[in-house]
C-alpha cells in the first residue's frame, strides 16, 4: 500500500505548490476561486465519501501531530528540573535558549544541539527565542515554569493566538521584553490581556495581520502599559491627510 | 409499466397474496378467491407474461420461498397492504398521460421525515450541542437518525444566538457548574479540532480572554470567598482581591462599598455566540443531522400503569409521535420518534405542557410542572469616550449590574437583572429605555465615575429560559414521560454550559448514565422533592 500512498502525497505536494499549513486542506480554495489550486484529493473527495473521510482523517492527523510536538515533558521535569525542561522543549521545536550568564544555545541547520545544558539544573533561563516555532497553547505549559524569564520572542509563530497570550500572566514578575511581530493569529483581544505584565519594558506588536485597527490598538496598548515602550504600527497609519498636507499639484489646471 | 408493477406486487406481497396469484391463469378469477378488496384488475394482456415470470421464479426458488423470504426481510407483513396499493395506483394513474399530475405529486422537501430516532425540539445552542454529541458519541457511523426541529431558522428570538452578551466565566458556587464552564472553555479553545469541516474556513470566535470581575459587598464577602475556594478546587484560575489591590489594578473603579472582589485570570471572557452557533450548525449538518423548520403542536403518547416502589400506582407515558406544523400553514407532519429532547429554551415550559407534564393534582410527581418560563432581559450598548481601557474585564457589580467592553471604540455593553416585582412583560421584545435610566445608570455611574457621561447607542431585548424554582438548569430524563429528556432552564448562563450539557444528555441517551460530569443534581425530580440548588450570582 506504500506505492499508492506515496503517489497521492506527490500529487498533493505538486498541486499545492509545495506549501502545507494546518488548514492546508480546508482553506485552499475560495468559493468560485481559481481552479488551478484544487488538489487531487479535493476533487476526489467531492465525488466519493471514502475519500472525504480520508481527508477528514488527514486533517485530524495534522492537528494531532502538532499537539504531540507540544506535549509536556513530565519525565524530564522530574529528573532535571523546570529550567532544563523548558530549554529542551524550545530546542526541540527549533528555537534558541539563553541561560543566565551563559551563551545562546541554538540548534544547527540539521536541528541538532549539544546536550551540555543538561548540567544546568539550577541555572535559570533568562531568554527564549521561539521565532517561527510551532508552539501553541499546550506547549506554553513548559515555558510557564521559567520564573526568571526576562525576554520572550514569539515572532512569526503560526500557532500563537489570543488564548496563548492570556496564559502569560505567571511570567508577570520577571518578563521585561515580549516580541510578537508577525504572528498571524494574534488580535487586539489577546493584546488586551497583556495588562498583567506590569514589568514589561519592551513590547513589539508590529505587523499583526489579525489586528483590525493597528494604529488605534497601538494607542490603547500604550495607555494600558504606561511604563512600557511599545513598538508597533505607526500611529499615523490609516489617518487621512489634512488639507495643508495634500500634495500640491500645480501642473493641472483644476487643483483641489 | 403496469406489468412490472403487477409482478412486483406478487414478489413483495404478503404470502397469501402471492400464492393466490400463482393459482389462477385467468385474471378475473383471482378477484374472487382473495379476500382483499381493491386487488388491481389491470392485468389484461400483460397477465400471461407476468404469471409465466412468477412460474419461472417459483420453479427456480421453490414454492413460497421467494415470497416468504422477501417479506420477512422487508417486514412488509405488518403494512396496511391494501391502502398502500390503492395509493400507489392513484399515483401511477396520475403519471399516465391525460391526468393532472401536479396535484398528486407535490414537493415535500420542507417536511421532516416520517420517522426519526431522536427528535430535538429547539435548534439553538442546546439543541445543536446535543445533536453534535449524539453524532460524535454514537458507536457506529449513522447509527441513529437525529432530527432538529426549530420554529425560526433565522434565530431572531433565540436567547443564545445574536442576542446574547456572550460571556463565559467559571465563578459559580456549584462545582458542576464550574466543571461545565471549564469544559466549554476547553471546547472553545480547540473549536477547530472539534468542528473541523473539510474545505470550510475555520470558526473565528473572537474570544476576548479579558476575565471576569465579581464585586461583593460586606454581607456577600464570606459567600464569595467560599465560592472561590470551590472554584479553585475544580481547577479554575480565580484570585481574590482586596479593595486596595482592586484600586491598584483597575484605577477607574470606585471601590466604595466593595469588601472583596474575585477576578478570573484565565479562561474567562466573552465571545461571539453567533459564530459558535453557525459553526456548530455547519458541523452538525456535515455529520448527517436533519433540520426542519416548524412548530411542535402535539404529542401522541401511550400510557401504562406501573406499581411504584411504595406500592402506589404510577402512570408512565411514552411519546410515540409528534406533530410538526409548518410555518404559516395548517400542514403538519407526524414524526414517529423514539426519544424526544426538549431543548426549546424559553419555550420549554410550553413543550412540556404539551407532553402532559404537570397534569395532575399539585404536590404529586404527576402534578409537578416544568418551571421554565420566558423572562425578558434588556441589553444596552453605550458609548463613553473616557471610559475604562482595553484591559476591562466583564464586571459584575454588587447591585447586579454588569458591563463589558465591546470592540476598540469605547463602546460598552451591559444590563441588569430586574427584581421579581419589576419583571417586564415577556409578550414582546420591546426595549424599555426608562429601565436603563432608573435602574442601570445610577449603579454604573456610582461604580465607574467615568460612566457619568455616557450616551446609549442602541439596545435590544431577549428571553432568558428562566427557571423560576432555583435558576439552575434541568438536565436528564423525566421520571414519568420516559422518553423525554430535558436540556434547558439555565436562566442566562446557558451559552457557557451548553457544550458540557449536550455531552451529558448524549451520554444519558446512549449509555443510560452520566459518564464525564455527574449532572444528577440537575434532574427533574428535584422539583418534586423541593430540593433547591442555589446559585450565588445570577447575571
Taking the C-alpha atoms of residue B368 and residue B480, their distance in angstroms, rounded to an integer, is 11
Distances (CA, A) of B224 to B212, B248, B288, B417, B537: 14, 21, 45, 19, 9
Q: Residue B196 and residue A220: Cβ atoms within 8 Å?
A: no
Q: Percent of chain A scored above 70 by pLDDT?
A: 76
Q: How many domains does chain A have?
A: 2
Among partner residues A26, A29, A188, which is closest to B408 by beta-carbon distance? A188
Q: Percent of chain B scored above 70 by pLDDT?
A: 83
Query: Is A240 inside a domain boundary?
Result: no
- Look up residue B155 and give its three cell numbers: 434565530
pLDDT tops 90 at residue A243: no
Among partner residues B196, B198, B389, which is closest to A52 by beta-carbon distance? B198
Among partner residues B198, B267, B391, which is closest to A192 by beta-carbon distance? B391
Residues of A whose CB is below 8 A from B207: 162-163, 189
Whether residue A36 is found in the same domain as residue A62: yes
Domain final residue pick, A29, A49, A68:
A68
Over residues B186-216, the pLDDT tens digits come to 999 999 889 988 888 989 999 999 999 999 9
* Residue A183 lies in domain: 71-231
Nearest CA-CA partner of A93 in A41, A126, A130: A130
- Look up residue B168 and give its three cell numbers: 463565559
pLDDT at B110: 86
- Look up residue B181 and give its three cell numbers: 464552564
pLDDT tops 90 at residue B474: yes
Residue B142 sits at the chain A interface (C-beta within 8 Å): no
pLDDT tops 90 at residue B289: yes
Query: Is A181 inside a domain boundary?
Result: yes
Whether residue A55 is found in the same domain as residue A103: no
Q: Residue B390 and residue A192: Cβ atoms within 8 Å?
A: yes
Over residues A92-140, the pLDDT tens digits come to 999 999 998 888 988 888 888 888 888 888 889 999 999 999 999 999 9
With CA atoms as reference, the chain B residue closest to A54 would be B198
Q: Residue A137 and residue B189: Cβ atoms within 8 Å?
A: yes
Whether residue A224 is found in the same domain as residue A169: yes
Q: Residue B198 and residue A187: Cβ atoms within 8 Å?
A: no
Query: Is A219 inside a domain boundary?
Result: yes
Residue B206 sits at the chain A interface (C-beta within 8 Å): yes
Q: Residue B202 and residue A27: Cβ atoms within 8 Å?
A: yes
User: Which pLDDT band, with edges at 50, 70 and 90, does B229 fall under?
Assistant: very high
Query: Is A37 inside a domain boundary?
Result: yes
Give the angle B23-B24-B26 at the CA atoms, nearest 5°: 170
| pLDDT top residue among B499 and B428 | B499
Concatenated DSSP letters for B232-281? Answer: HHHT--EEEE-HHHHHHH-TT---TT--EEEEE-SS-EE--HHHHHHHHH
User: Which pLDDT band, with edges at 50, 70 and 90, does B159 fall under?
Assistant: confident
Which whole number is the average pLDDT over B72-85? 69
pLDDT at B475: 94
For B291, the 3-state DSSP assignment is strand
Domain final residue pick, A68, A87, A105:
A68
Residue B425 sits at the chain A interface (C-beta within 8 Å): no
Residue A25 sits at the chain B interface (C-beta within 8 Å): yes
Give whichever of B103-107, B244-248, B304-308, B534-538 has the largest mean pLDDT.
B244-248
Whether residue A58 is found in the same domain as residue A175: no
Q: Residue B389 and residue A224: Cβ atoms within 8 Å?
A: yes
Q: Residue A166 and residue B266: Cβ atoms within 8 Å?
A: yes
pLDDT at B539: 55
Give residues 173 to 202 of A whose Cβ lies within 8 Å of B.
187-193, 195-196
Report phi then psi at B226, rounded to 5: -60, -45
Which whole number is the average pLDDT over B41-67? 52
Residues of B whose CB is below 8 A from A167: 266
With CA atoms as reference, the chain B residue closest to A195 would be B391
User: Which of B390, B407, B412 has the most A C-beta neighbours within 10 Å, making it the best mutation to test the interface with A?
Assistant: B390
Residue A141 sits at the chain B interface (C-beta within 8 Å): no
Taking the C-alpha atoms of residue B467 and residue B372, their distance in angstroms, rounded to an integer, is 4
Average of per-residue pLDDT values in chain B: 84
pLDDT at B42: 44
Q: How far is B429 from chain A (nearest CA, A)?
A: 31
Over residues B311-369, the pLDDT tens digits come to 888 889 999 999 999 988 899 999 999 999 999 999 999 999 999 998 888 888 888 99
Q: How far is A126 from chain B (nearest CA, A)?
A: 25
Report phi then psi at A9, rounded to 5: -60, -45
pLDDT at A59: 85
Question: Beta strand pairing status for A151-153 and A125-129?
Answer: parallel
pLDDT tops 50 at residue B124: yes
Whether residue A178 is found in the same domain as residue A100: yes
User: Which pLDDT band, with edges at 50, 70 and 90, does B280 fall under?
Assistant: very high
Among partner residues B200, B211, B408, which is closest to A216 by beta-carbon distance? B408
Q: How far is B489 from chain A (nearest CA, A)?
A: 30
Query: Is A254 inside a domain boundary?
Result: no
Q: How far is A128 from chain B (nearest CA, A)?
A: 23
For A75, the 3-state DSSP assignment is helix
Q: Residue A189 and residue B208: Cβ atoms within 8 Å?
A: yes
pLDDT tops 50 at residue B21: no
Do B469 and B371 form a contact (C-beta atoms < 8 A)?
yes
Whether residue A46 is found in the same domain as residue A108: no
Which whole number is the average pLDDT over B75-85? 74
Whether residue A101 is found in the same domain as residue A213: yes
With CA atoms as reference, the chain B residue closest to A165 would be B209
- C-alpha torsion sign, points A198, A200, A201, A207: negative
Give residues 243 to 272 of B whose Cβ lies within 8 Å of A.
265-267, 269
Which whole number is the average pLDDT over B11-19? 39
- Look up residue A147 and give its three cell numbers: 520564573
With CA atoms as reference, the chain B residue closest to A61 would be B193
Query: Is A101 inside a domain boundary?
Result: yes
Q: How far is A55 from chain B (nearest CA, A)?
A: 7
Taking the C-alpha atoms of residue B188 and residue B497, their distance in angstroms, rounded to an integer, is 12
Q: Residue B408 and residue A217: Cβ atoms within 8 Å?
A: yes
Choose the weakest-confidence range: A26-40, A231-245, B429-443: A26-40
Residue A59 sits at the chain B interface (C-beta within 8 Å): yes
pLDDT at A235: 58
Distances (CA, A) of B462 to A23, B140, B229, B403, B488: 36, 39, 33, 16, 16
Residue with cell 479554575: B236
pLDDT at B64: 46
Whether residue A91 is found in the same domain as residue A12: no
CATH code (residue A160):
3.80.10.10
Residue B201 sits at the chain A interface (C-beta within 8 Å): yes
Over residues A7-55, the pLDDT tens digits come to 555 545 544 443 444 444 444 434 444 455 788 888 888 888 899 888 8
Residue B366 CB: number of other CB atoms within 10 A?
A: 18
Do B266 and B208 form a contact (C-beta atoms < 8 A)?
no
Query: Is A252 inside a domain boundary?
Result: no
User: Which pLDDT band, with edges at 50, 70 and 90, does B60 fall under?
Assistant: low
Over residues B374-423, the pLDDT tens digits come to 999 999 999 999 889 888 999 999 888 999 999 888 999 999 988 888 88
pLDDT tops 90 at residue B261: yes
| pLDDT top residue among A111 and A154 | A154
pLDDT at B287: 92
Do B267 and B182 form a contact (C-beta atoms < 8 A)?
yes
> What DSSP designation does B534 have?
-
| pLDDT top residue among A234 and A145 | A145
Whether residue A189 is found in the same domain as residue A115: yes
User: Which of B140, B141, B198 has the most A C-beta neighbours within 10 Å, making it the best mutation to test the interface with A?
Assistant: B198
Residues of B whose CB is below 8 A from A212: 408
pLDDT tops 90 at residue A151: yes
Whether residue A90 is found in the same domain as residue A49: no
Question: Beta strand pairing status for B167-168 and B484-488?
Answer: unpaired
Choose the weakest-confidence range: A105-119, B60-74, B199-213, B510-524: B60-74
Among partner residues A42, A63, A163, which is closest to B193 by beta-carbon distance? A63
Residue A65 sits at the chain B interface (C-beta within 8 Å): no
pLDDT at B11: 36
pTM for the whole structure: 0.80
pLDDT at B538: 54
Residue with cell 496563548: A164
Which whole number is the average pLDDT over A138-165? 91
Q: For residue B459, what is the enclosing H or E element? A: strand B455-467
pLDDT at B52: 61
Report phi then psi at A255, rounded to 5: -100, 165
Query: Is A155 inside a domain boundary?
Result: yes
Q: How far is B253 from chain A (nearest CA, A)?
A: 15
Nearest CA-CA partner of B347 in B501, B464, B177, B199: B464
Q: How far is B209 from chain A (nearest CA, A)?
A: 6
Which whole number is the average pLDDT over B48-75? 52
Q: Nearest 10 degrees: CA dihedral of A59, A61, A63, A66?
A: -140
Residue A163 sits at the chain B interface (C-beta within 8 Å): yes
Q: How far is A256 from chain B (nearest CA, A)?
A: 32
pLDDT at B74: 52
Q: Residue B202 and residue A63: Cβ atoms within 8 Å?
A: no
Adjacency order of strands within the sheet including B401-406: B238-241, B260-264, B212-216, B394-396, B401-406, B411-416, B372-383, B455-467
- B29: Cβ contacts below 8 Å, ≥ 6 apart: none
Residues of B whose CB is below 8 A from A45: 198-199
Whether residue A78 is found in the same domain as residue A64: no
User: Which of A42, A189, A205, A228 has the most B C-beta neighbours within 10 Å, making it the best mutation to test the interface with B?
Assistant: A189
Residue B482 sits at the chain A interface (C-beta within 8 Å): no
- Look up residue B384 and give its three cell numbers: 463613553
Domain final residue pick, A68, A88, A109:
A68
pLDDT at A212: 87
Q: Residue A192 and residue B199: Cβ atoms within 8 Å?
A: no
pLDDT at B14: 39
Which whole number is the average pLDDT over B47-67? 54
User: Which pLDDT band, with edges at 50, 70 and 90, does A238 fall under?
Assistant: low
With CA atoms as reference, the chain B residue closest to A38 would be B199
Whether residue A168 is found in the same domain as residue A201: yes
Report phi then psi at A80, rounded to 5: -115, -10
pLDDT at B18: 37
pLDDT at A17: 41
With CA atoms as reference, the chain A residue closest to B186 would be A163
Amino acid at each position: 500500500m506504500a506505492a499508492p500512498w506515496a503517489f497521492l502525497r506527490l500529487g498533493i505536494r505538486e498541486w499545492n505548490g509545495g506549501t502545507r499549513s494546518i488548514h492546508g486542506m480546508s482553506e485552499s480554495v475560495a468559493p468560485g476561486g481559481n481552479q488551478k489550486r484544487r488538489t487531487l484529493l479535493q476533487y476526489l473527495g467531492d465525488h466519493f465519501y471514502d475519500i472525504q473521510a480520508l481527508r477528514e482523517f488527514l486533517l485530524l492527523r495534522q492537528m494531532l501531530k502538532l499537539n504531540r510536538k507540544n506535549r509536556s515533558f513530565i519525565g524530564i521535569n522530574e529528573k532535571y528540573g523546570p529550567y532544563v525542561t523548558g530549554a529542551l522543549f524550545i530546542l526541540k521545536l527549533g528555537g534558541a535558549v539563553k541561560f543566565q550568564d551563559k551563551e545562546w544555545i541554538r540548534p544547527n541547520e540539521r536541528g541538532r544541539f549539544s546536550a551540555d545544558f543538561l548540567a544546568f539544573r539550577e541555572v535559570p533561563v533568562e531568554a527564549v527565542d521561539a521565532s517561527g516555532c510551532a508552539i501553541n497553547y499546550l506547549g506554553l505549559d513548559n515555558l510557564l515554569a521559567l520564573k526568571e524569564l526576562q525576554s520572550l520572542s514569539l515572532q512569526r509563530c503560526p500557532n500563537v493566538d489570543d488564548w496563548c497570550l492570556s496564559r502569560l500572566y505567571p511570567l508577570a514578575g520577571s518578563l521585561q521584553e515580549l516580541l510578537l511581530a508577525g504572528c498571524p493569529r494574534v488580535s487586539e483581544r489577546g493584546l488586551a490581556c497583556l495588562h498583567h505584565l506590569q514589568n514589561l519594558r519592551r513590547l513589539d506588536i508590529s505587523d499583526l495581520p489579525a489586528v483590525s485597527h493597528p494604529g488605534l490598538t497601538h494607542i490603547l496598548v500604550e495607555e494600558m502599559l504606561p511604563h512600557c515602550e511599545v513598538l508597533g504600527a505607526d500611529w499615523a497609519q490609516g489617518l487621512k491627510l489634512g488639507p495643508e498636507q495634500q500634495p500640491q499639484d500645480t501642473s493641472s489646471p483644476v487643483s483641489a | 409499466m403496469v406489468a412490472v408493477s403487477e409482478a412486483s406486487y406478487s414478489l413483495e406481497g404478503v404470502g397469501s397474496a402471492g400464492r393466490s396469484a400463482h393459482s389462477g391463469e385467468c385474471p378475473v378469477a383471482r378477484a374472487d378467491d382473495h379476500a382483499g378488496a381493491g386487488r388491481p384488475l389491470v392485468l389484461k394482456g400483460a397477465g400471461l407474461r407476468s404469471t409465466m415470470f412468477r412460474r419461472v421464479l417459483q420453479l427456480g426458488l421453490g414454492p413460497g420461498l421467494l415470497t416468504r423470504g422477501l417479506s420477512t426481510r422487508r417486514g412488509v407483513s405488518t403494512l396496511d397492504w391494501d391502502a398502500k396499493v390503492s395509493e400507489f395506483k392513484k399515483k401511477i394513474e396520475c403519471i399516465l398521460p391525460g391526468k393532472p399530475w401536479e396535484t398528486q405529486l407535490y414537493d415535500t422537501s420542507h417536511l421532516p421525515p416520517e420517522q426519526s430516532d431522536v427528535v430535538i425540539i429547539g435548534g439553538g445552542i442546546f439543541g445543536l450541542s446535543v445533536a453534535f454529541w449524539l453524532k460524535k458519541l454514537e458507536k457506529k457511523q449513522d447509527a441513529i437518525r437525529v432530527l432538529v426541529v426549530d420554529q425560526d431558522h433565522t434565530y431572531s428570538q433565540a436567547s443564545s444566538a445574536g442576542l446574547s452578551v456572550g460571556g463565559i466565566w467559571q465563578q459559580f458556587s456549584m462545582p458542576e457548574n464550574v466543571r461545565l464552564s471549564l469544559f466549554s472553555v476547553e471546547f472553545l479553545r480547540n473549536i477547530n479540532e472539534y468542528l473541523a469541516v473539510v474545505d470550510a474556513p475555520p470558526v473565528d470566535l473572537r474570544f476576548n480572554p479579558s476575565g471576569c470581575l465579581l464585586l461583593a459587598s460586606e454581607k456577600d464577602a464570606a459567600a464569595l470567598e467560599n465560592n472561590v475556594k470551590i472554584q479553585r478546587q475544580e481547577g479554575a484560575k480565580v484570585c481574590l482581591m482586596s479593595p486596595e489591590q482592586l484600586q491598584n489594578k483597575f484605577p477607574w473603579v470606585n471601590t466604595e462599598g466593595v469588601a472583596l472582589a474575585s477576578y478570573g485570570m484565565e479562561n474567562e471572557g466573552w465571545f461571539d455566540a453567533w459564530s459558535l452557533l453557525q459553526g456548530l450548525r455547519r458541523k452538525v449538518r456535515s455529520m448527517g443531522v436533519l433540520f426542519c423548520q416548524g412548530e411542535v403542536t402535539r404529542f401522541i403518547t401511550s400510557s401504562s400503569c406501573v406499581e411504584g416502589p411504595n406500592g402506589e400506582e404510577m402512570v408512565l407515558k411514552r411519546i410515540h409521535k409528534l406533530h410538526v406544523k409548518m410555518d404559516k400553514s395548517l400542514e403538519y407532519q407526524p414524526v414517529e420518534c423514539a426519544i424526544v429532547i426538549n431543548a426549546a429554551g424559553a419555550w420549554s415550559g410550553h413543550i412540556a405542557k404539551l407532553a402532559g407534564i404537570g397534569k395532575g393534582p399539585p404536590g404529586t410527581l404527576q402534578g409537578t410542572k416544568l418551571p421554565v418560563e420566558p423572562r425578558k432581559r434588556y441589553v444596552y450598548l453605550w458609548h463613553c469616550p473616557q471610559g475604562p481601557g482595553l484591559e476591562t474585564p466583564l464586571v459584575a457589580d454588587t447591585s447586579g449590574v454588569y458591563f463589558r467592553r465591546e470592540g476598540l471604540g469605547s463602546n460598552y455593553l451591559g444590563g441588569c437583572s430586574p427584581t421579581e416585582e419589576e419583571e417586564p412583560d415577556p409578550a414582546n421584545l420591546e426595549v424599555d429605555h426608562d429601565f436603563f435610566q432608573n435602574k442601570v445608570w445610577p449603579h454604573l455611574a456610582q461604580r465607574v465615575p467615568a460612566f457619568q457621561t455616557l450616551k446609549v447607542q442602541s439596545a435590544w431585548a431577549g428571553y432568558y429560559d428562566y427557571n423560576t424554582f432555583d435558576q439552575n438548569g434541568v438536565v436528564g430524563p423525566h421520571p414519568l414521560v420516559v422518553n423525554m429528556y430535558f436540556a434547558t432552564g439555565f436562566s442566562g448562563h446557558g451559552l457557557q454550559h451548553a457544550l458540557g450539557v449536550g455531552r451529558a444528555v448524549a451520554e444519558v441517551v446512549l449509555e443510560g448514565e452520566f459518564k464525564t460530569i455527574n449532572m444528577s443534581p440537575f434532574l427533574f425530580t428535584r422539583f418534586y422533592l423541593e430540593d433547591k440548588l442555589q446559585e450565588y450570582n445570577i447575571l
